[in-house]
């Protein structure tokens, strides 16, 4: 089989790319190992930068982001027993939207299918072949075990941090990598929101994030050991841990119906492109979750790449494709820094000394007590300007 762009991975990056390419008349095939149901029900990120919302809405990918999603004009940083609001609207005149990633995916899948997109679930990519030619091929296995081969002008790796395309591009080099000595214990519960806005709390017991999903479902996280066993805690224990980490707020408790442990990693691939195979989103880079940059960064990559592919495949202009990696890496490293900074400022590292703890509170104070500090955080959180 042949197509212009073979896209491996039907996450936000792969689906949005096929949507943007379709709008400029470039055909693609999108494959994903998971089923449609898995893609549409797995709970992932929740916060969209304003620019991400504008892209989804203005390109016709999602109306629901504005009707179902909710605008958040700020967050709270809590430390030393006190809350401090970062007012995005006042600082930078921008906002974020709470709209779960699986809702974004439902919208994108529906939009792609109604446009007649060749979108195949249950198709597992095994390898990218002829990576150094100008006709790279994706080898894959279909739902019945059948072999599938897709030849394309360009192969796009949008298959996340554990996909096969990353290694096809980076080879043995891999990339720049950092691990953290903590993880997040995430819970989903049936309850009303406990606060109007998200609370990022640095407490002596460790970090907690009070987030939301809807009027009746809430998402919360607390810092835990990366080896923690999610099933080792009773619901009572989970609520006691969470409650102790947001002194000053009484959390609305309710049945916890999902729990998971999320490991923290920072990663940037050594190269984002090899010949005509190119990486976007988590296949290219991973950030720790603090600050909610993962999905938004994927969208920023895809905007750059969509323009570059339009120029390459519609006009034979290679300049944007050649410049993609360098242009994308500017934002990628800013987001790496922001995610690392938020993570280190808010978590309590195992073995932290009294000096470390007091220095951390000093850092938090230098952010919340300064208009410039608040603006720095607000600008990064709501998202730097996008390429269009």
Q: Which is nearer to ligand DHB, 168 or 209 (CB)?
A: 209
DSSP symbol at 171: G
Min CB(360)–ligand DHB separation in Å: 18
Select from 16, 221, 226 the least CA-distant residue to 101: 16
| Six-digit token string for 281 | 């989103």
Quick check: is 200 catalytic? yes
Min CB(46)–ligand DHB separation in Å: 3
Min CB(198)–ligand DHB separation in Å: 6
Quick check: is 289 catalytic? yes
Min CB(367)–ligand DHB separation in Å: 15
β-strands 28-32, 2-8 pairing:
parallel
DSSP symbol at 231: G
Q: Which is nearer to ligand DHB, 44 or 327 (CB)?
A: 44
Q: Which is nearer to ligand DHB, 46 or 136 (CB)?
A: 46
Contacts of 145 (CB under 8 A, 6+ apart): none
Question: Tokens 């903590």 correspond to what residue?
Answer: 182
8 A C-beta contact, residue 5 and residue 309: yes
Please tell me which residue in 19, 102, 285, 293 is annotated as part of the active site: 293
8 A C-beta contact, residue 104 and residue 12: yes
Quick check: is 193 catalytic? no
* Distance separating alpha carbons of residues 25 and 4, to the nearest angstrom: 10
Please tell me which residue in 200, 221, 233, 324 is annotated as part of the active site: 200
Select from 230, 259, 253, 227 the least CA-distant residue to 240: 253
Question: Tokens 């002829």 correspond to what residue?
Answer: 130
How far is the first Cα of the chain from the last one, in angstroms, to the nearest whole number?
33
Quick check: is 334 catalytic? no
Min CB(104)–ligand DHB separation in Å: 13
SS3 of 360, please?
Answer: helix
Please tell me which residue in 12, 193, 288, 289 is annotated as part of the active site: 289
Which residues lie near ligand DHB (CB under 6 A)?
A: 45-47, 198, 209, 211, 219, 289-292
Q: Which is nearer to ligand DHB, 5 or 47 (CB)?
A: 47
Min CB(173)–ligand DHB separation in Å: 28
* Distance separating alpha carbons of residues 385 and 327, to the nearest angstrom: 13
Q: Which is nearer to ligand DHB, 211 or 360 (CB)?
A: 211
| Alpha helix stretches (DSSP H) within the chain | 12-23, 36-41, 50-58, 64-67, 88-92, 101-114, 165-170, 235-244, 294-315, 319-346, 354-368, 371-382
Please tell me which residue in 12, 19, 72, 288 is annotated as part of the active site: 72
Quick check: is 381 catalytic? yes
8 A C-beta contact, residue 142 and residue 123: yes
Q: Which is nearer to ligand DHB, 136 or 193 (CB)?
A: 193
Residue numbers annotated as active site: 72, 200, 289, 293, 381
């Amino acid at each position: 089989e042949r197509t212009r762009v073979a896209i491996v991975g039907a996450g936000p990056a792969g689906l949005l790319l096929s949507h943007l390419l379709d709008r400029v008349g470039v055909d693609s095939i999108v494959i994903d190992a998971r089923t449609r149901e898995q893609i549409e029900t797995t709970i992932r990120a929740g916060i969209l930068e304003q620019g991400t919302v504008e892209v989804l809405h203005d390109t016709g990918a999602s109306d629901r982001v504005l009707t179902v999603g909710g605008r958040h004009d700020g967050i709270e940083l809590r430390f030393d027993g006190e809350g401090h609001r970062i007012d995005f609207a006042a600082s930078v005149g921008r906002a974020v939207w709470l709209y779960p990633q699986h809702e974004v995916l439902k919208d994108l899948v529906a939009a792609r299918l109604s446009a007649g997109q060749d979108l195949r679930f249950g198709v597992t990519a095994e390898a990218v072949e002829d990576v150094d030619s100008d006709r790279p091929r994706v080898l894959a296995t279909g739902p019945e075990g059948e072999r599938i081969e897709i030849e394309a002008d360009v192969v796009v790796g949008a298959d996340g941090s554990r996909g096969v395309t990353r290694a096809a591009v980076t080879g043995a080099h891999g990339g720049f990598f950092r691990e953290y000595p903590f993880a997040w214990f995430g819970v989903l519960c049936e309850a009303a929101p406990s606060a109007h806005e998200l609370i990022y709390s640095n407490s002596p017991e460790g970090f907690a994030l009070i987030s939301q999903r809807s009027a009746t479902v809430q998402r919360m996280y607390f810092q835990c050991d990366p080896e923690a066993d999610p099933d080792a805690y009773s619901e009572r224990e989970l609520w006691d841990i969470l409650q102790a980490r947001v002194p000053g707020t009484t959390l609305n408790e309710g049945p916890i119906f999902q729990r998971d442990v999320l490991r923290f990693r920072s990663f940037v691939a050594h190269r984002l492109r090899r010949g005509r195979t190119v990486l976007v989103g988590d296949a290219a880079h991973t950030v720790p979750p603090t600050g909610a940059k993962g999905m938004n960064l994927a969208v920023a990559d895809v905007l750059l790449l969509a323009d570059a592919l339009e120029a390459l495949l519609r006009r034979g202009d290679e300049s944007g494709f050649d410049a993609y990696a360098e242009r994308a890496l500017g934002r990628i490293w800013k987001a790496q820094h922001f995610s690392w900074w938020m993570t280190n400022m808010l978590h309590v590292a195992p073995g932290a000394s009294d000096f470390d703890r007091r220095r951390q509170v000093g850092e938090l104070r230098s952010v919340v007590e300064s208009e410039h500090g608040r603006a720095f955080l607000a600008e990064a959180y709501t998202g730097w300007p996008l390429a269009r």
